[in-house]
Amino acid sequence: MSEKRFLSALKQGFLAATLLGVMILPYQSSLAQSSNQNGENRLTIRSNVQEANSQTGVITARGNVQINYPAQQLQATAAQAQYFRSERRLVLTGDVYVLQGENSIRAEKVTYLLEEGKFIAKPKEKQQVRSTYIIPQSNNNTTSSQPDINVPVGE
Protein backbone atom coordinates (compact mmCIF):
# COMPACT_ATOMS: atom_id res chain seq x y z
CA MET A 1 0.00 0.00 0.00
CA SER A 2 1.41 3.39 -0.93
CA GLU A 3 2.03 6.03 1.72
CA LYS A 4 -0.59 8.30 0.16
CA ARG A 5 -3.29 5.58 0.22
CA PHE A 6 -2.28 4.62 3.77
CA LEU A 7 -2.65 8.23 5.01
CA SER A 8 -5.99 8.57 3.22
CA ALA A 9 -7.27 5.35 4.83
CA LEU A 10 -5.95 6.51 8.21
CA LYS A 11 -7.74 9.87 7.87
CA GLN A 12 -10.98 8.14 6.86
CA GLY A 13 -10.70 5.76 9.81
CA PHE A 14 -10.03 8.66 12.18
CA LEU A 15 -13.01 10.57 10.76
CA ALA A 16 -15.28 7.53 11.12
CA ALA A 17 -14.11 6.97 14.71
CA THR A 18 -14.66 10.65 15.52
CA LEU A 19 -18.17 10.65 14.06
CA LEU A 20 -18.99 7.43 15.88
CA GLY A 21 -17.73 8.95 19.12
CA VAL A 22 -19.88 12.05 18.62
CA MET A 23 -22.94 9.87 18.01
CA ILE A 24 -22.27 7.62 21.02
CA LEU A 25 -21.02 10.11 23.64
CA PRO A 26 -24.31 11.95 24.17
CA TYR A 27 -25.85 8.65 25.25
CA GLN A 28 -23.00 7.65 27.55
CA SER A 29 -22.78 8.77 31.15
CA SER A 30 -20.44 11.70 31.69
CA LEU A 31 -18.79 12.52 34.99
CA ALA A 32 -17.71 15.80 36.60
CA GLN A 33 -16.01 15.95 39.97
CA SER A 34 -14.88 18.73 42.22
CA SER A 35 -12.88 17.83 45.30
CA ASN A 36 -10.08 18.83 47.58
CA GLN A 37 -7.10 16.51 48.15
CA ASN A 38 -8.92 14.53 50.85
CA GLY A 39 -12.02 14.06 48.69
CA GLU A 40 -14.15 15.63 51.45
CA ASN A 41 -15.91 18.12 49.17
CA ARG A 42 -16.38 15.85 46.18
CA LEU A 43 -19.45 16.67 44.10
CA THR A 44 -20.10 14.00 41.49
CA ILE A 45 -22.45 14.69 38.57
CA ARG A 46 -23.47 11.93 36.16
CA SER A 47 -25.53 12.71 33.07
CA ASN A 48 -26.02 11.96 29.40
CA VAL A 49 -24.34 15.21 28.27
CA GLN A 50 -22.12 17.71 30.07
CA GLU A 51 -20.60 21.04 29.08
CA ALA A 52 -18.06 23.01 31.07
CA ASN A 53 -17.19 26.63 30.36
CA SER A 54 -13.78 27.45 31.85
CA GLN A 55 -14.29 31.19 31.33
CA THR A 56 -17.58 31.43 33.24
CA GLY A 57 -16.95 28.51 35.59
CA VAL A 58 -20.36 27.01 34.77
CA ILE A 59 -20.87 23.26 34.36
CA THR A 60 -24.14 22.21 32.69
CA ALA A 61 -25.37 18.61 32.77
CA ARG A 62 -28.43 17.41 30.84
CA GLY A 63 -30.34 14.16 30.64
CA ASN A 64 -30.73 11.67 33.48
CA VAL A 65 -28.74 13.87 35.88
CA GLN A 66 -27.60 12.18 39.08
CA ILE A 67 -25.74 14.09 41.78
CA ASN A 68 -23.88 12.80 44.80
CA TYR A 69 -22.37 15.17 47.39
CA PRO A 70 -21.37 13.02 50.40
CA ALA A 71 -20.01 15.96 52.45
CA GLN A 72 -23.61 17.22 52.78
CA GLN A 73 -25.29 13.77 52.64
CA LEU A 74 -26.92 15.01 49.43
CA GLN A 75 -28.20 12.94 46.52
CA ALA A 76 -30.35 14.35 43.73
CA THR A 77 -31.85 13.58 40.33
CA ALA A 78 -33.10 16.04 37.69
CA ALA A 79 -33.42 16.59 33.96
CA GLN A 80 -30.77 19.33 34.06
CA ALA A 81 -28.24 20.68 36.53
CA GLN A 82 -26.02 23.73 36.44
CA TYR A 83 -23.18 24.30 38.88
CA PHE A 84 -21.93 27.88 39.18
CA ARG A 85 -18.44 27.52 40.62
CA SER A 86 -17.82 31.18 41.59
CA GLU A 87 -21.18 31.42 43.39
CA ARG A 88 -21.07 27.85 44.76
CA ARG A 89 -24.65 27.47 43.55
CA LEU A 90 -26.30 24.35 42.13
CA VAL A 91 -29.51 24.78 40.10
CA LEU A 92 -31.55 21.64 39.34
CA THR A 93 -34.51 21.74 36.94
CA GLY A 94 -37.02 19.25 35.58
CA ASP A 95 -38.63 16.67 37.90
CA VAL A 96 -36.15 17.34 40.70
CA TYR A 97 -35.77 14.97 43.64
CA VAL A 98 -33.34 15.85 46.42
CA LEU A 99 -32.52 13.54 49.30
CA GLN A 100 -30.43 14.86 52.18
CA GLY A 101 -30.11 12.40 55.01
CA GLU A 102 -33.71 11.37 55.64
CA ASN A 103 -35.20 14.65 54.37
CA SER A 104 -36.40 15.05 50.79
CA ILE A 105 -37.74 17.63 48.33
CA ARG A 106 -39.68 17.14 45.09
CA ALA A 107 -40.05 20.20 42.84
CA GLU A 108 -39.67 21.49 39.30
CA LYS A 109 -36.70 23.68 40.23
CA VAL A 110 -34.38 23.55 43.24
CA THR A 111 -31.52 25.94 43.86
CA TYR A 112 -28.97 24.84 46.45
CA LEU A 113 -26.61 27.46 47.89
CA LEU A 114 -23.65 25.41 49.08
CA GLU A 115 -22.11 28.11 51.31
CA GLU A 116 -25.36 28.67 53.20
CA GLY A 117 -26.72 25.12 53.08
CA LYS A 118 -29.95 26.68 51.79
CA PHE A 119 -32.50 25.17 49.39
CA ILE A 120 -34.96 27.23 47.33
CA ALA A 121 -37.65 25.04 45.77
CA LYS A 122 -40.23 26.07 43.14
CA PRO A 123 -43.07 23.93 41.76
CA LYS A 124 -44.46 23.50 38.29
CA GLU A 125 -47.20 25.99 37.46
CA LYS A 126 -50.38 25.29 39.46
CA GLN A 127 -48.64 22.60 41.52
CA GLN A 128 -46.86 22.48 44.84
CA VAL A 129 -43.45 21.59 46.17
CA ARG A 130 -43.43 18.44 48.29
CA SER A 131 -40.97 18.13 51.16
CA THR A 132 -40.59 15.45 53.79
CA TYR A 133 -38.62 16.13 56.95
CA ILE A 134 -37.71 13.89 59.82
CA ILE A 135 -38.06 16.05 62.91
CA PRO A 136 -36.13 14.73 65.88
CA GLN A 137 -37.87 14.61 69.23
CA SER A 138 -37.17 17.68 71.31
CA ASN A 139 -34.51 17.33 73.96
CA ASN A 140 -33.72 20.44 75.97
CA ASN A 141 -29.97 19.79 75.78
CA THR A 142 -29.72 19.39 71.99
CA THR A 143 -30.37 21.60 68.98
CA SER A 144 -31.21 20.45 65.51
CA SER A 145 -29.31 21.66 62.45
CA GLN A 146 -31.92 21.21 59.73
CA PRO A 147 -31.34 22.72 56.27
CA ASP A 148 -32.80 26.16 55.59
CA ILE A 149 -35.67 25.68 53.13
CA ASN A 150 -37.26 28.58 51.25
CA VAL A 151 -40.41 27.54 49.40
CA PRO A 152 -41.98 30.44 47.46
CA VAL A 153 -45.76 30.59 47.70
CA GLY A 154 -47.89 31.50 44.70
CA GLU A 155 -45.09 31.90 42.15
* Domains in the chain: ranges and CATH: 3-150 (2.60.450.10)
DSSP for 114-136? TTTTEEEEEPSTT---EEE--PP
Give the DSSP H/E element, type plus range, for residue 95.
strand 89-100
- The band of 138, judged by pLDDT with boundaries at 50, 70 and 90, is confident
pTM above threshold 0.85:
no
User: Of the given ranges (36-40, 58-62, 73-77, 105-109), which has the lowest mean pLDDT?
Assistant: 36-40
Residue 22 scores a pLDDT above 60 = no
Report the C-alpha gap between 79 and 1 in whole angstroms: 50
Predicted confidence (pLDDT) at residue 125 exceeds the cutoff of 70: yes
Confidence of residue 5 (pLDDT cuts 50, 70, 90): low
pLDDT in tens, 42-88: 889 999 999 999 999 999 999 999 999 998 899 999 999 999 999 99
Q: How many CA atoms lie within 13 A of 69 on its CB side?
A: 17
Distance CA 83, CA 94 (A): 15
